[in-house]
Structure 1
Amino acid sequence: MTASLNPDANSTPDPCDFTEPFKSPRGSAIRELFKYLSRPGMISFAGGYPSKDLFDRAGIGHAMDAAYRSDPVACLQYGDTAGAPALRRAIVRLMNERGVNREIDDLIVTTGSQQGLDLLIKILVAPGDAVLIEEPAYPAAIQALRLAGAQLIAVRTDVHGIDVDALSEQLEALDPVARPKLLYTVPTFANPTGATLTTARREALARLAMRFRFVLVEDDPYGELRFSGEPVKPVIALADTIPGASDWVVYFGSLSKIVAPGLRIGWSIAPPAITRRMLIAKQTSDLCTSPLAQETARFYLESGRLAEHVPVIVQAYKKRYEALSSALRQFVPDDIEHVVPQGGMFVWARLKGGRNAAELLKRAIEQNVIYVPGPAFYVHRADASSMRLSFAAATGEAEVFEGVRRLKLALASR
């Protein structure tokens, strides 16, 4: 039986043509908001995009030119599935600066860190498997795990990330036969809450992973974007100091938020048994991450421009966050409360009085401003009054203030 896949076709495709997860799939609630970005004058607090005004265009352009001049065949031909050795060495050096000591054989270059998660899910998670995930959580992780048929178990968080004491009690209460396969977390400047897990909690989390034998997935796209507070070592670095714990930690890194998402360069660091299987899964996925993008990233990292440019990004984000916080206090102090992040790209906010963020969004769109209602980040019991405000993509502090002023108008129109 052949079914039309044309969405404009008169007939609806027979669900029997699709695998179970795709019979009635749910798309990204955040992506649904992108249709409003083309509206003239729209101000967006919605997408988790880095600022287009902060791309190091000159540095990336020079790196691309240098890569192509150096070896055009290497840029245009198929490459090693694990990633170009020179880029992997450059990433190993970058991770050394973050306190993580590994060899290039421990590392796979992925097409964005999202691919790393997809590969890990493919090799670890079967339909019905229990998986722990912090709540609220990164929506693409929720979506990927749901499509894999995972049984999602929400883990409580607070302003400091995962509540490890509550998690310990939760794990004790679970049936040992149905132990979770993995736990997914963004421990530094989390998406959406901006929370950062303390050192003590990171160590406790690593110990829980070892004790209960689940893979601890540390997704770290924002870790370099600290604009206040003291740096905290990655969980994988702390796990190295606990005998046996590093056997249970998988780390995902990315250049998307600190260089450019268009390069689609991410990486995974994992125990050998996991790395070997992820590599085989990647062979059947895309053969290799774009060699041209890899060589560009390699030349960029080797140039030293990243170390020079990250402080520029951080300073700009700090000013935009401060503008957002100031504007919320100035325009809507009785309507919206928010959590103070130490870095990253997001502010987690809540409408006071139990008001509904999705309902407010309808009126906000009329005022030409958008954000993401909180339910998009929940697995089960969503907080309908919550909302994520991204300050990173704004063109500057003036746009941030204007966006919050429009939110005030939307609140007044109820």
Structure 2
Amino acid sequence: VLVTQPLFQNPTGATLAPARRPEILAIARAAGAFVVEDDFARRLVHDDAGPLPAPLAADDPDGTVVHVCSLTKVTSPSLRVGALAARGPVLERLRAIQVVDSFFVPRPLQEAALELVGSPSWGRHLAAVATELRHRRTALATALGGELPELALPHLPAGGGSLWLRLPGGGADESALVSAALRASVAIAPGRPYFCAEPPAGHVRLSFAAVSGAAEIAEGVRRLRTAFDGLLGG
């Protein structure tokens, strides 16, 4: 089984290159493997992203891909409603182990989700989220560029709710920076858990999805600058 996030991958925010899409499906078919497509961020697109690629499942007539998505991130943590789409042998396997039937969502949540996505305001909500995420992403990237240019931003994502930053070589220790930031009331995620092997450098993940706005972002980056300086003895 290969689990992949081809659209706005967490934590980098990168999107799978078009040439890689058929390669992944071909490798999976040749190996007799299934691909689980975690399409968690499709509705977290920013309003400057341009047209999005179709899900991998759209290019899969053979039932190699299991497509998984959710309404939770773009609505509310309490709206725990997701969807799983599959076809062919993989669907039969899922039914056989009762994964599809056991993941039953309570009817009130189903009714609430149906009313939400069927409402004329659903499109306006998605557009508002896309605009706000782009504003917050830009605010965070701008603040980091001004206050913390030492942290490299290899990729500016067009979707999702976080930035992936590389620490300078020979400088701050990743774990120490995370701890120092937390003491300054700024929560950032260490990069080490995102690697399956030894990382090439220290990384941190900064989220902008749950903040109240640009002012809180600016204050958070200012505190992170202070924590960074203290760590280096500056």
Deviation at 1:237, TM superposition (A): 1.1
Q: Is the 8 A contact 1:373 1:384 kept in 2?
A: no
2:59 alignment partner AA:
L
Task: Please state if 1:336 is matched with 2:157.
Answer: no
**Aligned position for 1:265:** 81
Q: 1:205 aligns with which of 8, 11, 24?
A: 24
- Contact 1:367/1:410 (<8 A) preserved: yes
Q: Which residue of 1 aligns with 2:165?
A: 349
The residue type paired with residue 239 of structure 1 is: D
TM-score by length of structure 1 reads 0.52
Query: In the alignment, which residue of structure 1 is the partner of 2:36?
Result: 217
Give the 3 Å change call, closer, same or farther, for CA 406–293 of structure 1 in structure 2: same
**Structure 2 unaligned residues grouped into runs of 5+:** none
Contact 2:64/2:90, CA 8 A, preserved across alignment: no
1:381 is aligned to 2:202: no
Contact 1:198 1:232 in 2 (8 A): no
Aligned residue identity for 2:82: G
Partners of 1:375 and 1:383 within 8 A in 2: no
Matches within 5 A, 1:51-130: none
User: Any idea what SS the aligned residue of 2:169 has?
Assistant: helix
Q: Distance in 2 between matches of 1:272 and 1:260?
A: 33
What is the CA distance between 1:286 and its match in structure 2? 4.5
Aligned to 1:365: 182
TM-score (norm 2): 0.89
Partner Cα distance (1:213, 1:283) in 2: 20
Q: Which has the larger radius of gyration?
A: 1
Partners of 2:58 and 2:100 in 1: CA distance: 31
Counting matched residue pairs gives 227
Check 1:283–1:317 CA distance in 2 against 1; reply closer, same or farther (3 A cut).
Answer: closer
Q: Distance in 1 between matches of 2:193 and 2:202?
A: 12
- Supply the AA of the counterpart residue of 1:302: G
* Per-residue CA distance 1:217-257 (angstroms, 9 max, x = gap): 110011122223332111111234xxxxx321110011011
Q: Deviations over 1:15-43 (max 9, x none)?
A: xxxxxxxxxxxxxxxxxxxxxxxxxxxxx
Contact 1:203-1:239 within 8 A present in 2 as well: no
Q: Sequence identity of aligned pairs in percent?
A: 33
Q: Distance in 2 between matches of 1:264 and 1:200?
A: 34
- Contact residue 282 and residue 288 of structure 1 kept, 8 A: no
Corresponding residue to 2:70 among 254, 268, 289: 254
- Give the distance between the partners of 2:174 and 2:120, measured in 1 at CA: 43
Three-state SS of the structure 2 residue aligned to 1:311 is helix
CA-to-aligned-CA distance 1:280-326 (integer Å, 9 cap, x gap): 54479856221111111112122233222101001001000000100
Separation in 1 of the partners of 2:27 and 2:17?
Answer: 15
Counterpart pick for 1:395 among 180, 196, 212: 212
Match of 1:185 in 2: 4
Q: CA deviation at 1:357?
A: 1.4
**1:325 lines up with 2:107 in the alignment:** no
Comparing both chains, which one has the higher relative contact order based on Cα–Cα distances under 8 Å and sequence gaps of 6 or more? 1
Q: Say if 2:45 is the partner of 1:236.
A: no
What letter corresponds to residue 65 of structure 2 in structure 1?
A: V
- Matched to 1:205, the amino acid is I
Q: How does 1:24-63 map to 2 (within 5 A)?
A: none
* Contact 1:374–1:383 (8 Å) recurs in 2: no
TM-aligned CA deviation for residue 268 of structure 1: 0.8
Q: Distance in 2 between matches of 1:376 and 1:191?
A: 12
2:127 maps to 1:311:
yes
Q: Deviations over 1:176-210 (max 9, x none)?
A: xxxxxx11111111111111112222122122222
Mark the runs of 5 or more structure 1 residues left unpaired by the alignment: 1-181, 241-245
